[in-house]
A and B are shown apart, each in its own frame.
Chain A
C-alpha cells in the first residue's frame, strides 16, 4: 500500500530527500545554539568576559543564519514534495479512472471517487509533509537526547528505553484500533458526499415534492453517524497524549529517585542529573511532536488504503493485443449473443440474438420499455462486453478493435446524454477536436441545431451550464447528435435521441441524415413509429429477444407486437384523419 503511494513521487523524489537533509541541518543548529547559550552564560556573563560574549554571540548569529537557511529550504522542499505527491496521486488516479469500464465506476460510485481524489489525497499530503519535516526533526532530537543520556548514565537511560518501548507498543495497538474506525468513517464520508450530490442534482425533485425537511432529516442522520464514528476514532487517538505524559512523568520520578541514590553513592554528579532532566524534556517534546504525526499517519493510512484501491483496480474492459485500428465498413453482425449486467443475474438481458446489418442500411429498433434496446446497441461500441456469442463490426469482432478506433467509428448518441459546461463549440468539438467552425455549422445543420444556436445571444460561443441546464431537452438532444456526427463515423447509433424533439424536426433530421450521409449505417432506437417506419428494416425487440426484423410493411402484416405499437400510435378511432396523413 505504501509502495503504491510512494511510487507516485516521481519528479518529487529529490525534494523528498532534500527536505529531511535540510531539516537535519536545522535541528543540528537548534542543538548547537543552546550549548552556545550556556557557554555565554557560564563563561561570559557570570565571569564578565565581554570578549567571550561577543565571540559566542557572533557564532550564534552564524548558527542562526545556517539554521534559518536549513529551515527555509526544508520548508520549501517539504511543501513541494508533499504538494507534488498529492498532484501526482490525483493525476494517476484520474488517468486510472479513465481506463475504467462502467462496472468499475459503479463499484466505487462517483462521489466515492471524488472524495478519494480530494479529501483522501489532502490527508496524504498533510501526513507526508508532517513525516518529512516533523518526524525527521523529532526523531533526530529523540535519538540525540537518548545517546547523550546513554553517555552520562547507561543505568538511567535504561529507563528511557523502557519508556519508548512501552509507548511504541501502546501506540501501535492504538493505531490499529483507530484505523479500523477511520476506515469506517471514510466510507460514511462517501455516503454523505453522495447525499449532498444527489440533493444538488435532484434539487428540482426535492423542491417539487417539498421534501426539504425530509432530506434535512436524512442528512442529519448521516451526519450524526459520521460524528459518532469520528468521536470514537479520535477518542482513541487523543488518549495518546495523556498516556505519553504519564510515561514521561514516571520517567522523571524514577530518574529523581535513582539519581538521588546514585549521587549519594557518588556514581553521578548533580550537573549530570540536571543534564539528564533536560534530555528528558527533549525526549518529551520530541514524543509530543511524534504523537501529533502519529495522529495524522493513522488518519492518512485509511486514506492511503482507499487511494491504493483505486490505483490497483483492474479495468474490466481491456484493449486487445495487436488491436485492429480501422473499421472497414459499417456492417454489423450479432452472433448468438446473450448479455447480463452481472454475472450472477439469473435472467439474461439479451438472449440469443443473431442478426446482420449491411453497411449503409438504416435500421429502426423498437420495443417496449425495458426490452433491452439500449443494452443491444451498447454492445456494438463495446460499452459492455457480451456474456456469450460475439458482436462484429466490419466483419471483425469488436473485442479485437482498439477501443478508441472502434468508438470513433461507431458513434453513439446516448439516451441519457450529457453536455458539459463550456461553449457550444467546445461541446461540439468533443466529436473532433480540431473541427473548424464551418464543419461544426455543417453538422449542426444536419442535426437541425444550427437554427437555434444562431439565435442564441452569442451563437456558437454561448456558454452551456453544467448538464446543459440552460437549454431545453430537445435542444440538448440535437446538439448531441451534431456532436456525434462530427466524428464522421461509419455507424451512427441514435438511442432514443430525438424523444424531446418534435415530430416535424425529427423527420427533418432523418431526412438530412439520409441525404447528406449516404454510406452511414444508422441505427435508430425510438418510441415513435414515425421515427422508424421509413427505415430499411425495423428490429422489434421483446424482453431481450428478437421478435421481428423486417420492413415496415412486412412487420405490419406479420408481427403482432409491431402492429400493436403501430395501432396504439395511429390510434384507430381517435384523430384518425390526422394520422392518415402522416
Chain B
C-alpha cells in the first residue's frame, strides 16, 4: 500500500471534527437552503401526499372551529330558552348536536388520514434518503473511505437521518396548523383594534428576536452534538473492530478513558443544545403573558380615554384573541427544538451526498464477443470465453471491436497519494497476454500501489497505462474492473453464507460452479467441515475462520469470476505452502493464456512467473525471470536468500 495518503483531505464537507481546535463551535450554515433542499426531497416523491396532508390539516382545523363555535352558542341558543319551560323540548339541541357530531366525525377522519399519510411520507422520505445516501456512497472514490472514520460515516445513516424523522412527521404539520391559526386570529384582531394589534405584533417581534438568538445558540450546539455522536460512533466502531488487540494489550482501561473523554464532550454539547432549546418555550410563553398585560394596560387607557373607537367590550374580546394568538406561537417555538436538530443532521447528510463521486469519463466498454467469419462481433450469449473492447470512436461514431487479450503497458508512470510526494516513479512495464507477471520488493516499495493504478482505484499523475493498446482512462471503470479479477491483500467477507460469499465473484454462477471454484481454490475441504457446510453464515467478517481459510475463500471468489486477467495481491500469504501449491496449479490451469499479476513475498509463489519485477522505493530496479534475476545477484537475490550478494 502507500507510504502516505492525502491526510489533508480528511475534513471534506466540514466533517473533519477530529482536527478541529477545541472551543470552536460550528454553526448550521445556510439553514434556509438546507430546509429548501430537504423539502425538495420530500416533495419530489411525496408531493401529492404532502399536499393531501395539508388539506387534511385545514379540514380538521375547520371542523374543530365548528366544534368550538357550537360550545359558544350552546348555552345562549339551546339551553337558556329551555330554562323555566314546563315541557322543555330538547329537540333543537339534539339536532344541533348531531350536526356538530358530523363535523367532529369529519375532523377525526381528517386527523386519521393526516396521521396515516404522514407516516408514509416521513418513513418513505427517510427510506429514499437512506437509499440515496447509500447509492451515492458506493460511487465515492477509495480515497474517501481511507480518510474518514468508518463509524462516523455509519452515524450519518442512523443518528443523522433519525433527526429528520420528528421534524418531517410532527414539526411541519404543527407549523402549518399554527400558521393557519395565527393568520385567522390576526385578521380578527385587526378588525377589533389596529393599535392594540400593533402592540401585540411588537411583542411578537421581540419573541422572534429572542427565538433567533436562543435557537441560533442551540443550533450550533446541535451541530456539535451530531458531530460528537459521529465521533463517538467512529471511536466505538474502530475500537470494537480491533477489540482483540485491545484485549491482548490489556488496553481496556485506556480505551475506557479515551471513550469517556469523547463521551463527555458529547454530553456537553447535548446538554447545552437541549438546554437552549428547552428554555425557548417558557421564555416565549411568558413573553406572551407580558404581551397580554401590556395590551390590557394600553387598551384600558385607550378605552377609558374614550378617544378611539375601542370600547371595553371590544377590549375584552381582543384580549381573548390575544390569548389564542400567543398559543400557536408557543407551539411553534416548542417545535423549534426538533427543527434545529434536524438542520444539524441534514447538514451532515448533505455533506455526504455532496462528496464528489469517482470520476469516470471512460466510454470503451467490455462485451462478450464471438467470432463470425473471422470478424469479431458482440455476442448476446452470456459466456463465450471471448471478450472484446467496444470502442466507439468519438470523432465519427464508428464502432471498433478489439479483442481483450490482457496486454498491459505502463509508460513512465508517476504516482503519489499526495500531489508532491511520489510513491511511484518512472514505471515502465510490458505484460504480454498469457504472461504471469510478479511484483516483488521490500514492504512499502509500491507493489500494491501499482495494481491499484491498473484497476484505477487511484489515478496516475503522469505517464500512460495502456490495456490492449487502449488508454485505461478511456475505459469505463466498471468494465475495466470487470476485466480484472482481484484477490486483495485484506480479505473481506460479507455476512452471508459461504456460498453467497464465493458467488460474489459472479452473481450468475450456479451452485455447482461455486463448488467447483471452491475445489479449485482447495477450500472445499474445510467448507464441508463447517457446521452447515456451504450454507454456513459467516458473521463479523468471517471472524471464526483462520486467515488462510479466508484467503482460500477469496481465491475461490476470484475463480468463480473467471476473469480475463487476474491480480493476486499477497493472496496466499497465510496459506501453507503445500495447499498453496495445489491452489496455484488450479489457478494456472484457469488462467492459461490469460494475464496474471502476482504480488508476493514468498519465493514459491513468484518463482514460475514469466517476468519478475523488483521494486524499490517506487522504482523498478530489476526485471527478468527467476533464473535471470538470480544470476544478476542483485536485490532479488538478496531478498530471497536473506544474504547480500
Is the C-beta of B455 less than 8 angstroms from some C-beta in chain A? yes
Across-interface contacts of B296 in A (CB, < 8 A): 40, 44-45, 53, 57
- Is the CB–CB distance between B604 and A571 below 8 Å? yes
Would you give the 0/1 interface string for B236-258, flagging 1 where the beta carbon is closer than 8 Å to chain A? 11111111111111111011100
Give A378 to B507 CA distance when docked, in angstroms: 37
Across-interface contacts of A457 in B (CB, < 8 A): 4, 421
Chain B, Cβ-Cβ closest to A529: B577
CB distance from A75 to the nearest CB of B (A): 3
Chain A, Cβ-Cβ closest to B494: A198
Is the C-beta of A169 less than 8 angstroms from some C-beta in chain B? no
CB distance from A539 to the nearest CB of B (A): 14
- Is the CB–CB distance between A472 and B1 below 8 Å? yes
- Is the CB–CB distance between A234 and B642 below 8 Å? no
Is the C-beta of B610 less than 8 angstroms from some C-beta in chain A? no
Is the C-beta of B478 less than 8 angstroms from some C-beta in chain A? yes
- Is the CB–CB distance between B630 and A577 below 8 Å? yes
Across-interface contacts of B273 in A (CB, < 8 A): 79
- Is the CB–CB distance between A231 and B123 below 8 Å? yes
- Is the CB–CB distance between A83 and B274 below 8 Å? yes
- Is the CB–CB distance between B578 and A368 below 8 Å? yes
Across-interface contacts of A98 in B (CB, < 8 A): 246, 252, 255-256
Give A415 to B542 CA distance when docked, in angstroms: 14
Given that A40-B296, A193-B157, A231-B119 are known contacts, is A270 also in contact with B236, CB under 8 Å in the complex? no
- Is the CB–CB distance between A210 and B482 below 8 Å? yes
Binds B, one of A58-66, A148-156, A323-331: A58-66
Chain B, Cβ-Cβ closest to A47: B312
Report which residue of A193, A235, A420, A564 has the largest number of chain B beta carbons within 10 angstroms of its beta carbon.
A420
- Is the CB–CB distance between B548 and A80 below 8 Å? no
Q: In residues 486-525 of chain B, which contact A (Cβ within 8 Å)?
A: 486, 488-490, 492, 494-495, 504-505, 507
Give A418 to B236 CA distance when docked, in angstroms: 14
- Is the CB–CB distance between A110 and B240 below 8 Å? yes
Give A116 to B641 CA distance when docked, in angstroms: 52
Is the C-beta of A206 less than 8 angstroms from some C-beta in chain B? yes
Is the C-beta of A565 less than 8 angstroms from some C-beta in chain B? yes
Across-interface contacts of B539 in A (CB, < 8 A): 106, 109
Given that A67-B282, A79-B275, A502-B601 are known contacts, is A241 also in contact with B111, CB under 8 Å in the complex? yes
Binds A, one of B21-29, B130-138, B194-202: B130-138
Given that A74-B282, A122-B162 are known contacts, is A369 also in contact with B552, CB under 8 Å in the complex? yes
Binds B, one of A1-9, A390-398, A400-408, A515-523: A400-408
Given that A41-B316, A193-B154, A242-B111 are known contacts, is A500 also in contact with B546, CB under 8 Å in the complex? no
Binds B, one of A218-226, A306-314, A354-362, A547-555: A218-226
- Is the CB–CB distance between B283 and A581 below 8 Å? no
Q: In residues 144-193 of chain A, which contact B (Cβ within 8 Å)?
A: 189, 192-193
Is the C-beta of B65 less than 8 angstroms from some C-beta in chain A? no
Across-interface contacts of A418 in B (CB, < 8 A): 241-242, 244-245
Give A475 to B236 CA distance when docked, in angstroms: 25
Is the C-beta of A50 less than 8 angstroms from some C-beta in chain B? yes
Give A82 to B551 CA distance when docked, in angstroms: 47
CB distance from B277 to the nearest CB of A (A): 8
Across-interface contacts of B240 in A (CB, < 8 A): 97, 105, 110, 113-114
- Is the CB–CB distance between B138 and A215 below 8 Å? yes
Contact of A270 among B75, B417, B457, B638 (CB under 8 A): B75
Number of interface residues of B (CB under 8 A): 186
- Is the CB–CB distance between B82 and A193 below 8 Å? no
Give A259 to B80 CA distance when docked, in angstroms: 12
Is the C-beta of B292 less than 8 angstroms from some C-beta in chain A? yes
- Is the CB–CB distance between A67 and B286 below 8 Å? yes
- Is the CB–CB distance between B123 and A260 below 8 Å? no
Would you give the 0/1 interface string for A340-353, flagging 1 where the beta carbon is closer than 8 Å to chain B? 01000101000000
Would you give the 0/1 interface string for A30-67, flagging 1 where the beta carbon is closer than 8 Å to chain B? 10010001001100111010100110010011011101
- Is the CB–CB distance between A223 and B159 below 8 Å? no
Would you give the 0/1 interface string for B269-291, flagging 1 where the beta carbon is closer than 8 Å to chain A? 01111110011011101100110
- Is the CB–CB distance between A369 and B579 below 8 Å? yes
Is the C-beta of B581 less than 8 angstroms from some C-beta in chain A? yes
Across-interface contacts of B138 in A (CB, < 8 A): 199, 206, 212, 215-216
- Is the CB–CB distance between B293 and A61 below 8 Å? yes
Give A210 to B2 CA distance when docked, in angstroms: 23
Give A257 to B543 CA distance when docked, in angstroms: 71
Give A530 to B153 CA distance when docked, in angstroms: 43
Given that A97-B240, A431-B249, A499-B573 are known contacts, is A473 also in contact with B271, CB under 8 Å in the complex? no
Give A220 to B134 CA distance when docked, in angstroms: 9
- Is the CB–CB distance between B153 and A196 below 8 Å? yes
Across-interface contacts of B278 in A (CB, < 8 A): 74-76, 78-79, 129, 133
CB distance from A196 to the nearest CB of B (A): 5
CB distance from B357 to the nearest CB of A (A): 11
CB distance from A265 to the nearest CB of B (A): 9
CB distance from A253 to the nearest CB of B (A): 6
Chain B, Cβ-Cβ closest to A404: B250
Would you give the 0/1 interface string for A66-108, flagging 1 where the beta carbon is closer than 8 Å to chain B? 0110111011101110111011001100110111101001100
Contact of B124 among A41, A117, A220, A227 (CB under 8 A): A227
Across-interface contacts of A366 in B (CB, < 8 A): 576
CB distance from B52 to the nearest CB of A (A): 15
- Is the CB–CB distance between B548 and A369 below 8 Å? yes
Would you give the 0/1 interface string for B462-484, flagging 1 where the beta carbon is closer than 8 Å to chain A? 00000000000000001101101
- Is the CB–CB distance between B546 and A415 below 8 Å? yes
Given that A72-B279, A219-B131, A430-B249 are known contacts, is A203 also in contact with B443, CB under 8 Å in the complex? no
Is the C-beta of B304 less than 8 angstroms from some C-beta in chain A? yes
Would you give the 0/1 interface string for B362-375, flagging 1 where the beta carbon is closer than 8 Å to chain A? 00000000000000
Give A83 to B639 CA distance when docked, in angstroms: 58
Is the C-beta of B181 less than 8 angstroms from some C-beta in chain A? no
- Is the CB–CB distance between A260 and B270 below 8 Å? no
Binds A, one of B93-101, B376-384, B588-596: B93-101
Chain B, Cβ-Cβ closest to A406: B250
Across-interface contacts of A368 in B (CB, < 8 A): 576, 578-579
Is the C-beta of A465 less than 8 angstroms from some C-beta in chain B? yes
Give A189 to B604 CA distance when docked, in angstroms: 46
Chain B, Cβ-Cβ closest to A277: B71
Given that A465-B7, A473-B489 are known contacts, is A500 also in contact with B82, CB under 8 Å in the complex? no
Give A94 to B233 CA distance when docked, in angstroms: 12
Give A416 to B158 CA distance when docked, in angstroms: 29
- Is the CB–CB distance between A370 and B101 below 8 Å? no
Report which residue of A98, A366, A530, A581 has the largest number of chain B beta carbons within 10 angstroms of its beta carbon.
A98
- Is the CB–CB distance between B248 and A414 below 8 Å? yes
Report which residue of B149, B283, B286, B484 has the largest number of chain A beta carbons within 10 angstroms of its beta carbon.
B286
Give A241 to B112 CA distance when docked, in angstroms: 7
- A-B CB contact pairs (8 Å), 26 listed: A79-B273, A91-B256, A94-B256, A117-B233, A119-B159, A194-B495, A195-B495, A196-B137, A197-B154, A210-B479, A212-B478, A214-B507, A223-B130, A274-B75, A366-B576, A368-B579, A407-B248, A412-B248, A420-B238, A463-B7, A472-B448, A496-B574, A528-B577, A568-B580, A575-B627, A578-B603
| A-B pairs with lowest CB-CB distance, top 10 | A71-B282, A474-B443, A75-B278, A369-B548, A79-B274, A202-B492, A418-B242, A238-B115, A87-B267, A208-B486
